[in-house]
Amino acid sequence: MNQDLSIAQLVLQASLVVQLVMAGLLLVSLASWTVIFGKVFGLSKVKRANESFEKEFWSGRSLTELNQAAGAKAESAPLERVFASGMREFMKLREKRLDANTQLDGARRAMRVSYQRELDVVESNLSFLASVASVSPYVGLFGTVWGIMHAFVGLSNMQQVTLATVAPGIAEALVATALGLFAAIPAVVAYNRFSRDIDRVAMQFENFIEEFSNILQRNAGQPLPAAGNGAR
C-alpha cells in the first residue's frame, strides 16, 4: 500500500492512450482559458467604447460632425461603425433626391448589415467554448473507460488481486475524467456569462438602430439636426 499515487506519478504510469487523452484535454483547457481571458477584455472594451460613443451621440453634436469624426478615427467603437454605415447610406440616397421612405429603408438596411458584422466579431470563439463544455467530459470518460479496461487486462494475469493492485490502475483512469471536468466546467460558466453579455450588447445595438432611425425618419428631406435635439 506504499505505492506512489500522486497525480504526476499516475499520469506517468497511465497507458499511452490515456496519456494522449490527458494531453489533449490539457491543451483544450489552455486554449479555453486563452479564449476566456480574450473575451473578458474584448467585451469590456466593446462596452466601454459603445457607452462612450452613445454619450457623444446624445451630447448635441450634429449628425454631420459625428459622421466626419467617425471617418477620421483609426479605430472607432462598434456602435459608431453601425452609425457611420447608416449615415453614409442615408446621405448617398439623400444626394440622389429619393423619397424619404427609400432613404430611411436604405439606412436601416446598411445599419442591419453592419450590426450583424459587428455581432459576428463579438460572438467569435463562443462556439469553441460551447464545444469544450459539451465534449470534454465525454473525452475524459473515454480515457477513464480505456484506462479501466487496460487495468483489468493487466489484473487478469495475476494470481491474487488485492486493493493495492487494483487502486493504481483505477486511479490512473479517473484522472482523465477529472481533467475532462477541469476543462469543461470553466467553459460552461464562461459560455453562459458571455452569452448574457453579448445579448446585452446586441440589445444596445438594436435600441440604437431604432432610435437613430426615428431621428432620420423625422428629418428626412430636411437639414440634419443635432443627434440629441428632440430625439428622446
Please, are residues 133 and 184 in contact by the beta-carbon 8 Å criterion? Answer: yes
Residue 37 has pLDDT above 70, yes or no: yes
Report the alpha-carbon distance of residue 180 to residue 138 in Å, rounded: 7
Phi/psi at 223 (5° precision): -60, 140
What does the pLDDT average to over 121-131? Answer: 92
Helix axis angle, 63-72 to 78-95, nearest 10°:
120
The grid coordinates of residue 176 equal: 482523465
Report the alpha-carbon distance of residue 207 to residue 218 in Å, rounded: 17
Whole-model pTM: value is 0.79
Report the alpha-carbon distance of residue 198 to residue 206 in Å, rounded: 12
**Amino acid residing at 230:** G
Predicted confidence band of residue 115 (pLDDT cuts 50, 70, 90): very high
Q: What is the predicted pLDDT for the residue at 49?
A: 92
Distances (CA, A) of 62 to 95, 213, 226: 18, 15, 4
Residue 62 DSSP class: B
Residue 141 has pLDDT above 80, yes or no: yes
Residue 219 has pLDDT above 80, yes or no: no
Residue 14 has pLDDT above 80, yes or no: no
Phi/psi at 167 (5° precision): -55, -50
Residue 2 has pLDDT above 50, yes or no: no
